[in-house]
Each structure stands twice: as C-alpha cells, then as structure tokens.
Amino acid sequence: MVLTKNDQAKYPFLLDAAEEVKRLDLRIESLENPELKPIIDRAQDRIEEALRNNPPEVSYRPHEEGTEIPSFPVAVMLAAASANSYIKRRYALAEAIRAYGLLRAEDGEKIMEIAGLFKWRIRPLRQKVGDRYYDFALFFGDFLRNAGSFREKEWKLVNKPMLEGEVCLTHGEASRLLQEEIRRHIESKLDMDVRSMLSDSMLERIENLKREFARQIGRVGFEGFPERVVDVAYPPCVTHLYDAAKAGLHLSHVGRFTLTSFLLHIGMKPAQVVDLFRSSADFNERMTRYQVEHIAGDRGSRTKYKPPTCETLKTHGLCPGPDQLCRRIRHPLSYYSRKTRMLKREVPAS
C-alpha cells in the first residue's frame, strides 16, 4: 500500500516511527533549531490534548502535513519518556480515538488496506445477514484480539453473526475494532526507555506536563481502600464465596482463587485468609498457607494476583446475579471501593 501525504498525516502510526525520529535527530538543541520547534510544539500539544480532552482525543489538522506527520513519533517519544502509565495509556487512547473518527469517513477499500497492514484476515461482504446489512467479514481471532476486552453486550462474540470462522461487521464496527488495534499498537511503542536519547529541554517539557496534570495523573487505578476490611461492602459474588468458605463448603479452584485474591487486595492479612478456610473438612494448613502466600505475591513469581473481572466470574458460573451497584462496575474490587465510599457518606464517622 502506498500512503499518500494525506494518509500519513491522518494515520502517522502506520509509518516506521524509528525511521522518522532518526531523520529528525532530536539531540539537536530544539530551541536553537527553528525548523524543529513547531514539530516539537505540536508533539507536546498532542499529549496535552490527550490529557485535557474528555473523552481523550488528539485533534486532526488537515493541510498541515509538515508538522502533523513528524510530530507523532516525537510525541510517542515524549509519552514514553514520561515513564508514567496513566500518560501512556491516555495518549495511546487519544490517538486511537482520533484515528477512529477519520476511519469512519473512509471508504471500505481504505479500511481494508489499513486492516491489512495490521495483518487482519478481512474481506468485503456487502450483504444482509438476518435483518442487518454488513460490510465486512473478519476472522474471529482478529476480532477477539481486539473486542475481547470490550464490555458492551453487542461486542460479545456470542451476540455476533458468525459463519465459517468469520464475524460479520458493519463499517462502523470495523473502524471501532481498528481503533483498539491502533491503541494497542501505539501503547506497545511506549514501553521503550528513551530518556537517554532526549535532550534536557525535551525532558523538561514532559516534566512540566506531569506537573501541570499532576492532580489528574494521581487519581487513577482503584482508589485507596479503607484500612480496615469492611465486610458489608463485599460484592455479592465475594459474599457468596465468603459465606461458603466459612461454612466449610467446597469451593471450586476459581472460587478459592477469587476469594483469596480479593481479600488480600483489600488488605486482609494472609494469616486471616488461611483461618477462613479452617472449617473446610480437607483443610491442610501448610498447603493453604503456601497457596495464599503465592497469591499474595510473597512466593514464587512475586506477582500479587488480582481477582478475576465480573465477565470472567460469569463465564465460570461464580456470579450469583448482579445487584444495582454491580451494573455500574466491571470488577469486584471497584465494587468494594465504591461501596466503602458510599457507606462512608451514609454513616458519618463518630
């Protein structure tokens, strides 16, 4: 595929970023090089837009190929140099959303070309299946690689028309999946260590950004859990497992893992978790302790395991049915964090 200048400005991530950066030679003191300044300014601007706009989206500036194309790889370097996972994730998403908007307006052929660059096995369909008209048929593996983490019901494979290994897609759906592919593609570029390649003034730019958006950057992930474990804030699935464990009933492997990793995450001590399983008839102290400490990250791979998502719990039959709050979250830990905050508001501290 030959990319026109216009295409390159719209979809700069399709170019070889390393090549582009080499061409610019960023170690040249940027402020002294008037040719480079607008490019670096625009690069910084791309990241600022990602942080400022909600939902995050980098703008598209037509007819400015001269800065639009080279500013992208520079922005990638800046984002990577931030070494901050929030900035990286948000920037990748903002560029992907920008691309999505542009893809929506493209014809089917262009979609196919870009999908082809990501090695998708896609073909035009242009026919009705059931009552809907579809534009493309995509290999289900390519579909799952991207839609697997979407939470909306309509993106579940089980709700898609599928035949002979292909999922039928509309133009809009294909663009949305490409957005995810692009987001993952850009995010994967942000993990390299580039700080040594950048000049001091470049590094200063990113530090300034971090300062400016410090409040936003700090407010991520699961918010702090209260110091004491609040058992009335457990989500229904955990309450269910917890009661069963206390009663000495048999729990499946996934069930035990879910309960243990959840309790450890909200601050229960491994020894307390071990005690919980004591009423089980086949309780083996040494074995249980080993498993609990493994999940806590005190042993083996040293990874602190997180409980599975709501989706996964549903798949394994461990979701006893959602309550009101469940409908607004997708992870048992988010439930706990929200519920504890709600409870705090209800009952003023004495």
Residues in contact with other proteins by CB under 8 A are 121, 129-131, 139-141, 144-145, 147-149, 153-154, 156-166, 168, 247-250, 252-254, 280-282, 300-301, 303, 311-312, 314-317
Closer Cβ to other proteins, 3 or 129, answer by number: 129
**Least spacing, CB of residue 294 vs other proteins, in Å:** 11
Closer Cβ to other proteins, 67 or 258, answer by number: 258
**Least spacing, CB of residue 291 vs other proteins, in Å:** 14
Closer Cβ to other proteins, 116 or 161, answer by number: 161
- Of 269, 348, 260, which Cα lies nearest the Cα of 305? 260
CA distances from 301 to 254, 269, 293, 297 (A): 19, 19, 11, 7
CB distance 136 to 174 below 8 Å: yes
Contacts of 118 (CB under 8 A, 6+ apart): 178, 181, 185
**Least spacing, CB of residue 113 vs other proteins, in Å:** 21
**Least spacing, CB of residue 303 vs other proteins, in Å:** 8
Residue 321, by phi and psi: left (phi above 0), alpha (psi -120 to 50) or beta? left
**Least spacing, CB of residue 13 vs other proteins, in Å:** 21
Name the phi and psi angles at 139, rounded to 5: -55, 130
Closer Cβ to other proteins, 219 or 253, answer by number: 253
Closer Cβ to other proteins, 148 or 221, answer by number: 148
Closer Cβ to other proteins, 195 or 314, answer by number: 314
**Least spacing, CB of residue 330 vs other proteins, in Å:** 12
283-290's contacts with Cβ under 8 Å and 24+ in sequence apart are: none
**Least spacing, CB of residue 341 vs other proteins, in Å:** 28
- Of 261, 266, 260, 257, which Cα lies nearest the Cα of 223? 266
Closer Cβ to other proteins, 121 or 341, answer by number: 121
Cα–Cα distance measured from residue 175 to residue 184, given in angstroms and rounded to the nearest whole number: 14
